[in-house]
Structure 1
Amino acid sequence: MAHIDLGMDESLFPGIRGLMRFRPETAAPLNALAEALLRAPNSLPAGERELIAAYVSRLNACRFCGDSHSAFAAEQLDGGMALVEQVRDDLDTAPVSEKLRALLRIAGAVRESGLKVTIDLVDAARAHGATDVEIHDTVLIAAAFCMFNRYVDGLGTLALDDPEGYRESARRIVEHGYIDSV
């Protein structure tokens, strides 16, 4: 049960969804940010951007965001959930491109502190073909998900136990986006 009264059955709107319904005036810009970062046209595929969000959320031990964005990534990546789990379990051996691995390392550094992002990490990403826009967006996705994770966990929202609920949300997000998903 959330730390505050959301005025609804949390099982119908777990995690951030209940918070978005509780404060629609803050939901609109947060959903617009998620839409821009994770779904707008970009040289990084949407599944890889969702994987960055899932990776950071898992590092932050945010169960709801980690599980939901893992499902969103799996829905859009050829390797599905098996690939997502490999990245979460061992980034060094996961079968992803060196560019994505370098970007995920940047995301992991942001999760610790923005000051942990070094020129060496950025140069490594560039050496594997990452553009300045992709590096920028990786840093912003990681920073935004640190905020989203703390929002969800700071208010003690409900995380689903059934993976099917996350898969349903993933299908809805892939089809309709974040702006129309609340």
Structure 2
Amino acid sequence: MAHIDLGIDESQFPGITGPMRFRPETGKPLMELAEVLLRGPHSLTAGERELIAAYVSGLNECNFCCNSHSAFAAAQLDEGMALVDQVRANLDEAPVSEKLRALLRIAGAVQETGRKVTSELVEAARTEGATDVEIHDTVLIAAAFCMYNRYVDGLATLTPTDPELYAQSAQRIVEHGYMS
């Protein structure tokens, strides 16, 4: 049970969806940010951007966001959950492009503290072909997910354990986005 009364059936609105319904005036801009960052037109695929969100959420040990965005990434990556699991288990050995690996390293640095993003990390990403927009958005996705993760865990919202619920959410997100 959440730390506060969200005025909803938490089983119907687990994780971040409960607090967003509790305060729609703050929930709407948070969802708009997720829509732009994770689904808007971009040189990184939606699956790659969801993978960044899942990776940061895993580092933050936010089970709801990690499970959600892992499922969202898997639904949009050809390699599915196997790739997501490999990235989360061992980024250095995961079969991703060197550009994505460099961007995930930046995201991991942001998760610790923004000051850990060094000019060396940025240069390594650029060397692998990352654009300034990709670097910018990686930092913003990582920073936003640190906030989203703390929002979910700080209110102790319900975290379902059934993987099928996350897979169903993934289909909805892939088909309709975050604003539906």
Cα deviation code 1:89-145 (max 9, x no counterpart): 000000000000000000000000000000000000000000000000000000000
- Which structure 2 residues correspond to residues 72-151 of structure 1 after superposition, within 5 A? 72-151=72-151
Q: Name the TM-score, length of structure 2 as normaliser.
A: 0.99
Partner of 2:38: 38
3-state SS in 2 of match to 1:35: helix
Partner of 1:63: 63
Q: Secondary structure of the residue that 2:8 maps to in structure 1?
A: coil
Residue aligned with 1:76, SS: coil
Q: Take 2:18 and 2:8, find their aligned partners in 1: how far apart are those partners?
A: 8
The CA deviation at 1:8 is 1.3
| Match in the other structure for 1:54 | 54
Residue equivalent to 1:157: 157
Which residue number corresponds to residue 176 of structure 2? 176
Q: Which runs of 4+ in 1 moved over 4 A?
A: none
Q: Secondary structure at the match of 1:158?
A: coil
Separation in 1 of the partners of 2:126 and 2:138? Answer: 13
**Cα deviation, residue 179, structure 1:** 1.1
Aligned-residue offset at 1:9: 1.2
Residue type at the aligned position of 2:73 = A
Instruction: Show CA shifts across 1:43-75 (max 9, x none).
Output: 000000000000000000000000000000000
Give distance in 2, aligned partners of 1:28 and 1:15.
15
Question: Match of 1:75, as an amino acid?
Answer: A
Question: Aligned-residue CA RMSD in angstroms?
Answer: 0.4
Tell me the number of residue pairs that the alignment of Structure 1 and Structure 2 aligns: 180
**Cα distance in structure 2, aligned partners of 1:126 and 1:139:** 14
Alpha-carbon distance between aligned partners in 1 of 2:29 and 2:10, rounded to the nearest angstrom: 22
Instruction: Describe the superposition over 1:7-49 as per-residue Cα deviations: whole angstroms up to 9, x where unpaired.
Output: 1110111000111111111111000000000000000000000
TM-score normalised to structure 1 length: 0.98
Q: Counterpart amino acid of 1:136?
A: H
Separation (CA, whole Å) in 2 of partners of 1:14 and 1:50: 19
